Each structure stands twice: as structure tokens, then as C-alpha cells.
A and B are shown apart, each in its own frame.
Chain A
């Protein structure tokens, strides 16, 4: 490690870093704008100037930009000398010549990097006495608000949007001091990662428009560490509340998972928490006065449970704790997963593969380190957007890493590295049913039916390792494609194979395993990533329960059962007639959920359960990483409680409460480890509820929280007693521990002088590195590098069936998520329903775009307009997943379609 001297003090720093990174990693304050740890250095803003000296005796030094100068052993620099301080102060004065003095009405005010840096440099008095330049703002859609006059031209927005995220519709226009960042014309930003602009922008040019709808200064938010619930990746989020309303989701850095960014579904999909459709009171149906108080409810439940045998339906969107509490309540034999037959089998298969331990389940950071990526049958852009963004980084950065091996350029020198790399890319084979946005980045973008993708996958695995079974009767084309892909993968050093459950195809999941196993050699690492459906699909899969199909069978076999359903709308999975019939077999139906839906409509007893924002719990992401989320606020309704709390209370009606005490998440996780040893380690996911630092709790409210006495000043100016939290080490106050808490317990990023989210650098071991104490989460799957066993389940070649099409879901980033659709802007972007089929099928049936066809879901005929799809093969019918018209569709089954002209 080189030693550098900063203001004559020696520091050991990491080689290959620049001076700005070195200073920030050491905890020193050096202002900057254009540099971003995920985007590298370009030297544009000139804000991080430092003085560098020839040696220890040189008194003059010369100014260099910290971000553009690498560390080297023995280097002397100063960040406190008059020259560099004076220059940095002047840079701010220049930026301020045109920056409006609108902080009091600016959404960024109080969490603004420009404000922080201005204060840090000491600039105060304005000497520029001329008119400021002004711009016109643009309408950029419902997520992002645009105010160009505030721009300080750091170029971060376009570098993130275009270079990092691959968006094309945001650009930089004009020159000199009229440089403009926006779109060619007003319009909705097209990238689903646009929300990050609000955090990437160091000031208030791009701000969160949904926050603007119910604005609160960020210092007046009550915040807690949370986990995004909108897909299986488990991105870490900071959720903020005021006046009982969830008001913002921002990025919570986790170096292994989402890093600095979130997708727009995750950032803006939170409005379901505030929905008028929330279940807020317990209901006992079919009696006078359905809404009841807690005593009446519990009395009723006591009777029900004393006299009935209950079957439980768990949920892939409910926490580990809630699912386990339900299993404990109804008993393992009566606990079912709530997933469809296919999804349940496939999820459990994935769990089995990862538990087997030969393959490492890749984190998003691992994915970004890959130099070759093979995607097998998963449209990750729509089913796991941040994974798609990580694949993009892998493809772009691996070429850079390779090029840098042959030149002395440092990795952070972003523009020069891009220049060197040009169009060179790491290898990406994107093999999907219907194409994806990633196709444009791919060396190989193939579209095929799931069985054919699986066959191709098996063929690839066999070429790499003949121990993996061969595909019999494979056609020439498959073999030659397989050979080409195998050759490219074998040239790589770090491969990630990605597959998942959304193609509804078991052999495909197995083929992905075989390829990764075959590739994993002494000199080549191959990881696997499986995408699952929901935020806790993996946690539920690990519980090894049977799916809804088996629940139905059981209900047909066993008379007089009652049913308790945890946070799942089975009508989204089962056709209505089958769901109706299933529910009709039960004497009593209890449903716990946050929002009214078709299933809650059938409940005899409806119990309001807390959403992620009102609950503590644990979710296991697709990587097998258990992560904690914490209650952001105490809901107004006393009846809205975590499902696990209700379920343990119900259990307590029959027997004394566990250990005679109220259950806490850490206690539940401890029990879970004993009952299901595959969860070993999960209780370490976060410090226990009674964890304190120097006897202090960790405050959810920032030091600057100003609303405490003002919030209810129209009623009384005395301060109400803060809510108490018995379940976690967090408190609902501003008082408490003011240092850096354990990484899983960071309610918000803040450091003196660093009021914006850029303060995350104070929480990291080094800029862009892990959080202090390690990134949050416990990996439940351990790679052991043995048990190399290949699957042998090779499907027959795909062949079409007369008048039938194979029904498959098309996921939509905006539209397929049940909860995110409650956010108006997201619902706006959801597609209208359609039935997509190949051009050839359409032609043969005499159908064109917009022609109506009818398909049968359950006993119901659903009429849908045809969308002729260029990418899909004959024999396939795609419906948009998650839309009401597609509810209950039998994904992966052959479906008869009816259309005009057909008898």
C-alpha cells in the first residue's frame, strides 16, 4: 500500500485510487461534484482541487484536481493550503454566479450537495452583479421534476443516464454557459432508472416528483432501513414517512446488492401503503356491524381455532417471520406456499440447486464483475431491472478491465477508459422467449420457446463438459449455436449464468445449473443467478411447502377444514372458478392482508396486516441473502399490525405465548433456525431488538428534525410522547446514538456537513466499497464446491399443436407488480392488455394487430386484442403478467384460442 502525505501526515492508501477517493476514504472532507464513485472521474467541475508538492520541502506546490491524479508512494499534498482552498472557494463562486437563490423553495434544500459543498468551501459573499442566465424547464414525465436554472453543469446526469444506464433520450445540448441538460423536447423520460437522477444530480435540477406531490423536507422525514418489495432482488431502500403517510423511497447503499441505484418501480411504487384501499379494521363478515374491535375479533378467533382444523396459505410477498408464524400456527403439514404449482416447484428447485452449494449464487456486485454473461430464458429487464443494469455494467466494464491490463491508465479515468474501449464489450448471450431491452447489448440475442432454450442450454453444457448429458437428436442449428456460445464462455474468466422462474420451465432452470457447473473450473469462476417472482419467494421456497395445487388436493381429500390466508390474492394465480370452488370447501376463511382484493372479499374474518413500511421483518432475496426491513412508522389504525404479530397472538389464544413474552423478529428467527436448520444464520441478519449502543437506541429522525412540536401545533404545542418500539433497536425520536450504526440499522445517511445522500461515503470502508462493518444481509446459501451433479432432464424439441398455443407471461417493469400498480404514475405506464403471437401464427389465423381473440381462463372467456410480436416463435401466446385480464392464467400450459372465422 502506498503512503501519501496529506498536510504532512502520512496515510496508507489503496493503490490505483485517485487523490479524491483517497481523501474521502480516509474520512477527510474534500468537495466535489462531477466525480461519482459509480461513474468515475472526468475532471470537469474543478471542485476537488488540491495542492501537490514535489517533495516534503516544496512550499509552492501546484494545483491538481484530486479526482484526476492517482495516488503514488511518497506523494505530498495539501487540502488545507491557501491556494487550493482559495481555488475551491472560487469554483463555488463561479457556480453560484448563475445558480438561483431559491433554496427555500427548492425541493433539494436541506439535502443538497451543492449547499453542503458551498458551506464546506466557505464561499459566502456574492461579487457577481450581473444578470443570471435562465433556461426553460421541460416536462419529463410523472417521476422527475426539471428545474434547469439550478444546474451547475457537472454532467453527472447524462453520464449516469446515458453511459451507465443506457438511456438515450436525455442529453446535453448547446455550449459555453448555455449548456443544457434535458430531452430534445418535452416528454416522459424513457429509462426505467430515471429516478436515480434525483440522487445523482448534486442540486435541484432533477427532483423526485412524487415526493413533490406531498412534499416534506428530507430532514422532517421519519426514516427506517427497508427492503424493496417489488421484485426478488431485495434492493436496500430508505423509506421516509411524515403525518402517517409514506412519502419517499431513496437509495440505501448496499455494496453487494443495489449499490447506488434503484429502478423506478422500486423508487416510485410505494403508494399502495397510502392507498384508500387499505384494510384498516378487522371485519367479521355476515353479521351486523362487521367492523369489530380487537377483543371481539380475538374472542371470535379463539372459538374458531379451538374447534376447527386450519390450513394455512403462505405468501412469497410476506416476510419470513410471518410465513413461519403461519406455519407454526397451522402446523407444517397444513402449511402451503401460496405459489402456483409451477412457481412452487421451480422455486424449490432453485433452492435445492443453491443449497447444494456447488455454485455460488451471485450478488449484483458479483454480476458486475463478470466478463461474460449468459441469460437463459429470463427477461431480466422486466422481471429484475437492477439485475439488467448490473449485466450492463458487467458487459461494459469487463472490456475496460481487459484493456487496462495493457495500459497504465487507471480505472477511474472514465472518459479515457471509454475512449480506449470504444465499442468493445464483454460477452453477453441473451436468450429469451420474447426478446428484451438487453438484446441491443448482446453478442447473441436469440428468441426461442422455453424447451428449445433448455435444449440449447443442455447442449452448451455438454460441449463444455461432456459429463453433462448430451442432447439427443439435436438439430444442426442448435449444435452450432451451442458450440459458438460455449466457445465464448470458455474464453471468459468470470461467468455468470442467469435464469429464473418467469419462463415457467423446469428444464431451463436445470440447464442453467449444468452450464454454470460445467464452466466452473480451477481457472474460471462461474456463478449462477436465479430470478424469482417476489420479494420473499426464496425465503418461502426454503420452507419447502407444497403449492396451491396440493392445497386444493388436500381440501378435496379432507373434510371440514378451515383456511387462513397470509397476504396473498390467490385469484391472481388461480382461475376464478377454481379459486371459488377451492374457497367454498372451507368452513371458515381468515385472510390477513394490507389491501382489499378478490381474496379478502371472500374472507369471513379479515385482519389488517401491516405493509413493509409499518412492519419489521426479514426477506430472502434471489441471491439467498436474508435482509431486515424495519418499521418506518406506527400506522394510525391500532389494528394494522405485522401479520406475524397477529398470528402469534392467535396461537397464544390456545397456548401461552412463546416464552411468555411478546414475540420479536429476532426471537422468531431464532425459533425458525431450530425448526428449519436450512435457515441457519438468519438470526444474525440484524442486531437483536434489545441491541443498544452505549445504552442508546438508533434514532429514526435526523438531528435536524424540526417538526416535533410544530406537527400538531394546531391542537397543542406540547410534544406528544413518541411511539415506542419494542421490536428493534430503532427509536421514533431524534435522540439517541449519533454515530454510524451497524450497517443493517442505518435509518438514513447523514454526517455533519453532509446533508445530502452523498454522505454515504462517510459510512463506507472506502468510496464505492462495503459499508463499515460489512454490507447488510446474511447469505443463507454457502458455496462448498462439491456435489457436482448434472441434471439429465432434457425436454423434447418444441413442436406446435393445432389450434393451441403455449401460454407464457410477458413481464412488464411497469404493470406486472401487484403493489406498484397502486402508484398512479406506474399504472399510467402499464400496457393495455393484449395477446401477443408470432407473425406466422397471426398470418395463418388471419389475424392482425388489434384483431380480437378469445382465450379461456378457468371457465371464463377473455377477449383480448392481438399484438403481432416480431421476436417470438410460432406456437407461443404471450399475455402481460399481472394485469387483471391475465389473472389466473395457466402459465406454461397449452391454451386453445378462439378467433373469427374459426368454427
Chain B
């Protein structure tokens, strides 16, 4: 089984430096593509590979790049940005790539920049990823020194600067347009789309923002071809995927697996099943802002389409498992506390609705819930939905709540009837 992204990542040694990375084929894609390919060819290769964005939205990466205006009359200043602001609760896959194989990201970004002819790029890194920051600083310096970054890269005439920007720890910055505002030094509030960043992004210039894992796939697609990349998968979504499992399982962790493994495989083969004495109650398949899957979904393939058909989203592919001894109301309350706190405060439904939801859930947990609270929660899951709020934060926050009400409604009702949390004595 091939693990192109993590093949050279070993927990017991530091990441490859530039020389070591080159020794295993690193930067070969850059050396080849910059000299022999046109930007259009590179865009097409990525598009044909059917690589879909690994940040959660699952949009075809090559197609996204193709929206950047490339004709001569188009803006000459363009940007490429790596979204490394990994703050989705339960998600730690980019961290592995950042700390384990920094040059792979840099190489992927150089290729992306070449594909849209951008000359400036940024890595927008989560505040708390201090170790990744120091590794990236070192790696960027190496890449500059080796001539992969800077002016006239490898004599091709292509210029690219790459900067590391460390955030201040706001979940909102994971939203690509809020990230752009933050990078410009403005408040991290999202922007209305259209215009999309590919047309008017950073400083109003064409910009692509991709997830770390997405960029990391690109050198391998260039080296081995779109067909190879598609063949890695067990489903119609191409490539491998970094899957994670957290919660009360025997071996929580992260694995690079063919796209489309089932929930069951992930849970039982890789995570070693539930801890002794605990049963599986449900799981958020792709981070905190996805709907619960339950035991009836164990054979669902973890790809974008299959998870969607099961009523949730693949999201980041990092699963949070809920066991049968943990209160689902308390679980969801914990999540809503996070989302309410991370709301940027721009639009009314999110700013005012999430704290209300959080307060209702807390009162349920405290045994102060009322019958009508369930209606209020349902009102929120309905009216904080997509299109009603300014961005996807609140709709994402409602996904675990809405599905919890659907699957674990009894637990909510028991809180009200028993005037206490039935999971606590």
C-alpha cells in the first residue's frame, strides 16, 4: 500500500532536511515542471488527477486553480496561500505533514504558484503550532539557499517568495476569506463571495488558498501522473487521505490510507476498536463541524460522496468518536462552547445564536432544561443553516447538534425529564 505523503515521516526522527528530501526524490517535480511544463499543463494534470481539497470542502483543486485569470490582461500580481491554520477540533493531520515533511509542502506550493504564475506565497500557520513554525522557518531558509525559492528559480526565470505567517489562534482564520483579511492585517471576518479569492483575493488580487494536505499531494501527481494518483484510491475520489481517529479508542492516531476506507476499517483495524467496556455510540467523521454517523454507518466509505450520502461530510477526515458512557449533550455543549467563542461576531445569527445554543445545552446538562428548549435548538439548527449566516462557521456548528438531536434525541429528553444529566450520578 502506497503512502506517498507520509512515506518519509517517522515519529522517532526529525523531518528530512533539504538534502535528505532531495535524496528520496524531493523537488524533482519542481525541477521537471518548471522547466518542461507550462502552467496550463500543470493545472490540467492536477485537474485530471481529481485531487479534491483536503480542507473539508472537497472541491476539485485543479478546477479551482483554473478560475484564476491567466490571460495577459489579467492582474500580474497573484498569491498562493497554504491554509495551515488547523484549528478544527479533533483534527491534527496537517500538523503531521508540517512537522514531518515540511519540504513536501513547500514543493507543492511552488508547483501551485507556478501553475497560476504567482510570485508571492504565504503559509498561514496556526498560532499553537510552534514546533511546525520553527521547522518551517528552517526549511524555507534551505529552500531559498538551494534556489527553489527567490528570484529566477533554477534558472527558469520564475520568481517566488514564500513567507511564514503565524496566526493569533482564531478558528475563523481557517475560513479562507477570513484568513485573507487576517493576512492583510484586518479583523478576521469572512468576505462575501462572489467575488471568489481566485479573482479578488489577498489585497484584491487573484489568490488560491489550499489546505496543507492538498499541496502535499501535488508533487506526487507531477512525478507519477494523474492516473497513478487516481489509482491510489478505493473510491471515486482520488489519492490517499490522512485519516485520524480520536476519542476513547484503543489506538487513537493518524494514518495515510487509500481514499474510501470504511468507518469500520478505520475504527477497528487502525484505531484498535473501542476501549474495554465502552461501546461505540457515534462519530463525527471529519472534525467537529460534521454530522454524527452512528453504528448504522460503519460500512460507509470515507470519501466525499459516500459520507455526504450518509448525511454527513468527510470534512477533514479526522474522526471524533463518541462512546456510550459519554453524555452526547455534554459532548455537543463542549463543541458549541468552542464555536460560540470562535464566532467572529460579524453576522447576527452566528454571533447571537451560538451563545444561546450553548446556554441551552448547559442548562440541559445542569438539569434546568425545559421542553421548549428542544424546539429552540431545532430552530437554531434550521436558521443557522447554509446561506442564512454569512459564512460556514455556524452551519458547521449546527451539524453535530442537528444530528445529535436526530440520533440521540432520547438523551436530550432524559435531561429534561430527570432534571439532571443521566450520565452523571
Contacts and interface: CB of A to CB of B under 8 A. Distances in A.
Interface of A: 42-47, 49, 62-64, 68, 86-87, 90-91, 94-95, 97-98, 127-128, 130, 152-153, 155, 172, 174-179, 407, 409, 413, 415-416, 419-422
Nearest to B385: A63
B271 interface: no
Contacts of B356: 94, 97, 128, 130
B388 A87 contact: yes
Among A64, A86, A90, A127, the one with the most B-chain Cβ atoms within 10 Å of its Cβ is A90
B56 interface: no
B352 A415 contact: no
Contacts of B389: 46
B376 interface: yes
B187 interface: yes
B348 A95 contact: yes
Contacts of A176: 340-345, 351, 354-355
Given A413-B192, A416-B200, A177 B387 contact: no
A407 B196 CA distance: 12
Contacts of A421: 204
B173 to A, nearest CB: 11
B353 interface: yes
15 contacts: A46-B390, A49-B388, A64-B387, A68-B192, A90-B349, A97-B356, A128-B356, A130-B359, A175-B170, A176-B351, A178-B345, A409-B195, A409-B200, A416-B200, A421-B204
Interface in B103-131: none
Interface residues of B, number: 37
Contacts of A409: 194-195, 200
B97 to A, nearest CB: 29
B359 to A, nearest CB: 5
A177 B376 contact: no
A44 B347 contact: yes
A177 B172 CA distance: 14
Interface in B173-192: 187, 191-192
Contacts of A174: 345
A369 B351 CA distance: 37
B356 to A, nearest CB: 6
A91 B387 CA distance: 14
Contacts of B59: none
Contact of B348 (A46, A127, A413, A420): A46
Given A176-B340, A177-B355, A415-B192, 12 more contacts: A44-B347, A46-B390, A63-B388, A128-B356, A152-B348, A176-B354, A177-B345, A177-B352, A409-B200, A416-B191, A416-B194, A420-B195
A454 B387 CA distance: 58
Given A87-B388, A153-B345, A174-B345, A419 B191 contact: yes
Across chains A and B, which 4 residue pairs bring their CB atoms closest together, nearest first? Answer: A94-B352, A179-B345, A176-B343, A420-B204
A330 B130 CA distance: 86
Given A87-B388, A177-B345, A94 B376 contact: no
B337 to A, nearest CB: 11
Interface of B: 170, 172, 187, 191-192, 194-195, 199-200, 203-204, 340-349, 351-356, 359, 363, 372, 376, 379, 383, 387-390
A175 B347 contact: no
A94 B200 CA distance: 32
B72 to A, nearest CB: 14
A128 B356 CA distance: 7
Given A49-B388, A127-B376, A422-B204, A415 B349 contact: no
Contacts of A155: 346
B359 A44 contact: no
A86 B385 CA distance: 14
B137 to A, nearest CB: 28
> SS class of chain B's interface: helix, strand, loop or mixed?
helix
A415 B348 contact: no
Contacts of B390: 43-44, 46
B347 A416 contact: no
A415 B351 contact: no
B348 A47 contact: yes
Contacts of A128: 356
Nearest to B370: A129
B347 A45 contact: yes
A63 B353 CA distance: 18
A528 to B, nearest CB: 34
A94 B353 contact: yes
B352 A95 contact: yes
Contacts of A45: 347-348
A774 B343 CA distance: 45
Nearest to A155: B346
B346 A44 contact: yes
Given A128-B356, A153-B345, A176-B345, A63 B387 contact: yes
B387 to A, nearest CB: 6
Nearest to B202: A419
A176 B187 CA distance: 12
Given A87-B388, A407-B195, A420 B383 contact: no
Contacts of B347: 43-46
Contact of B352 (A42, A49, A97, A413): A97
A44 to B, nearest CB: 5
Contacts of B352: 94-95, 97-98, 177
Contact of A175 (B200, B344, B387, B388): B344
Contacts of A130: 356, 359, 363
Contacts of B379: 90
B249 to A, nearest CB: 32
A379 B363 CA distance: 61
Contacts of B341: 176
Contacts of A42: 192
A128 B200 CA distance: 40
B78 to A, nearest CB: 14
Nearest to B341: A176
Contacts of A95: 348, 352
A155 B342 CA distance: 18
Contacts of B187: 172
A177 B204 contact: no
B1 to A, nearest CB: 44
Nearest to A42: B192
Nearest to B73: A406
A175 B345 contact: yes
B73 to A, nearest CB: 9
Contact of B192 (A43, A153, A175): A43
Nearest to B339: A176
B24 to A, nearest CB: 42
B377 to A, nearest CB: 12
A177 B340 contact: yes
Given A172-B187, A419-B200, A46 B343 contact: no
B192 A179 contact: no
Nearest to A94: B352
A98 B387 CA distance: 24
A154 B353 CA distance: 15
Contacts of B203: 419, 422
Among A86, A128, A175, the one with the most B-chain Cβ atoms within 10 Å of its Cβ is A175
Contacts of B344: 175-176
A197 B347 CA distance: 21
Contacts of A175: 170, 172, 343-345
A554 B172 CA distance: 77
A419 B353 contact: no
Contact of A177 (B192, B343, B383): B343
A163 to B, nearest CB: 12
A673 B46 CA distance: 78
A87 B383 contact: yes
Nearest to A416: B195
A419 B187 CA distance: 13
A152 B348 CA distance: 8
A406 to B, nearest CB: 9
Contacts of A94: 348-349, 351-353, 356
A680 to B, nearest CB: 50
